[in-house]
Structures are given as structure tokens and as C-alpha cells.
């Protein structure tokens, strides 16, 4: 199963307290195209995927949990020294009132995470195309987050996450081709 090492997949550094950026990062924490939704989507889909690619969903789903941990670390570091007034000014007043400094799975608008974000059709090709789309949407969001901060340390970690989304998309595309080849094979009984 899993072996947990108390070390982030990639270092997370931030240069300053920035509650507004933390609020924006919550999109990747508890949003529809965020890391939690991706991890659960892939680990759920693996039960109806052919054996030839089941390991891929397990590997990428597990890695998404590592990315979730990185996003949580970013949000924590960006808000740990923030005053209640700074949190309120960043639009995090309602979050602070309900959760103090604890993380809670919401998107950047404060909408709670929901299981309806997880897509699973049961058709391996359809599910893999959904996964490709999820990775591309996450890649785009990471690019926009990079563009929204001037913190070069934070940008570094976000660039790492953006590039992992590209790799995942490519791996899912390869899996689609593997399954298409399998579909076209003649079956003998």
C-alpha cells in the first residue's frame, strides 16, 4: 500500500504573509479541479479500469495526495502570521470565524468541497479523457496562480505542481492509447 515519509514531495517556501494568495490557493485544495478531487477521482476509478493501466491511476492518485499536502503547507505558511484583520481584508473572515486557522476543504470562493466533483463513468476511455481534462484544468489554474503572485519562492513550488499536471496528462494520454490498442485486438475464445 503506502509508505508515508514525513517530507514534502517538493520544498514549499513562501517569502511573506499573504492571506489573499492563501485564499486563491484554496481552489487547488478544495475546488472542483483541485488536488483532493483528483486524488479521490483516480483512486475511485481504478476499480473499473483494466489491469493494464490500474497502476497508473493508483500512482497518480497517490501523488495527488502529496500535492494536496503541499497546497495545505502553502496556505498554512501564507496565513500563519496573519492577523484577524488581514484575514478579513483577504475575504477569509468567514473561514476564520468558522475554523480559526484550521484548513477546511473549500474552493477560493468558500464553497465546501463536494463528492459531485468526482467523475466516474465506468467506461475506461471516457474516464481517462475526464482525467486528462482534469489535469489540464489544474495545469491552467496553477499557471494563473503563478501569475497572481510576485513571491518567487511560492512561484517555484507552484511551477513544480504545474509541471506534474503536464506529466500526469501525458501519462493518461498514453493509457488511452494502450486501451485503444487492446480494444482493437481480436479475441479468441
- In the set 27, 63, 130, 168, the catalytic residue is 168
- In the set 27, 63, 130, 135, the catalytic residue is 135
Q: Which helix (DSSP H) or strand (DSSP E) does residue 126 occupy? A: helix 124-147
Any catalytic annotation for residue 5?
Answer: no
Any catalytic annotation for residue 99?
Answer: no
Please state, in angstroms and rounded to a whole number, the distance separating the CA atoms of residues 159 and 146. 7
Any catalytic annotation for residue 67?
Answer: yes
- In the set 27, 63, 130, 165, the catalytic residue is 165
- In the set 27, 63, 67, 95, the catalytic residue is 67
Torsion over CA: 59, 61, 65, 67 (sign): positive
In the numeric block, the cell 503572485 is attached to 149
- In the set 27, 63, 64, 130, the catalytic residue is 64
- In the set 35, 63, 95, 130, the catalytic residue is 35
Burial of 177 (0-12, 13-18, 19+ CB in 10 A): exposed
The catalytic residues are 35, 64, 67, 135, 165, 168
Amino acid at each position: 500500500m503506502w509508505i508515508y515519509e514525513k517530507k514534502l514531495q517538493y520544498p514549499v517556501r513562501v517569502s511573506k504573509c499573504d492571506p489573499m494568495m492563501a485564499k486563491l490557493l484554496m481552489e487547488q485544495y478544495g475546488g472542483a479541479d483541485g488536488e483532493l478531487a483528483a486524488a479521490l477521482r483516480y483512486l475511485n476509478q481504478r476499480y473499473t479500469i483494466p489491469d493494464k493501466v490500474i497502476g497508473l491511476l493508483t500512482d497518480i492518485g497517490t501523488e495527488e495526495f502529496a500535492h494536496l499536502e503541499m497546497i495545505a503547507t502553502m496556505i498554512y505558511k501564507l496565513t500563519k502570521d496573519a492577523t484577524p484583520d488581514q484575514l478579513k481584508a483577504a475575504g477569509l473572515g468567514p473561514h476564520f470565524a468558522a475554523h480559526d486557522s484550521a484548513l477546511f476543504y473549500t474552493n477560493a470562493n468558500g464553497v465546501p468541497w463536494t463528492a459531485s466533483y468526482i467523475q466516474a463513468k465506468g467506461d475506461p476511455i471516457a474516464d481517462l479523457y475526464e482525467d486528462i481534462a482534469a489535469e489540464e484544468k489544474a495545469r491552467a489554474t496553477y499557471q494563473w496562480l503563478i501569475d497572481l503572485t510576485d513571491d518567487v519562492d511560492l512561484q517555484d513550488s507552484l511551477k513544480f505542481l504545474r509541471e506534474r499536471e503536464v506529466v500526469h496528462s501525458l501519462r493518461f494520454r498514453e493509457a488511452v492509447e494502450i486501451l485503444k490498442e487492446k480494444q482493437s485486438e481480436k479475441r479468441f475464445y
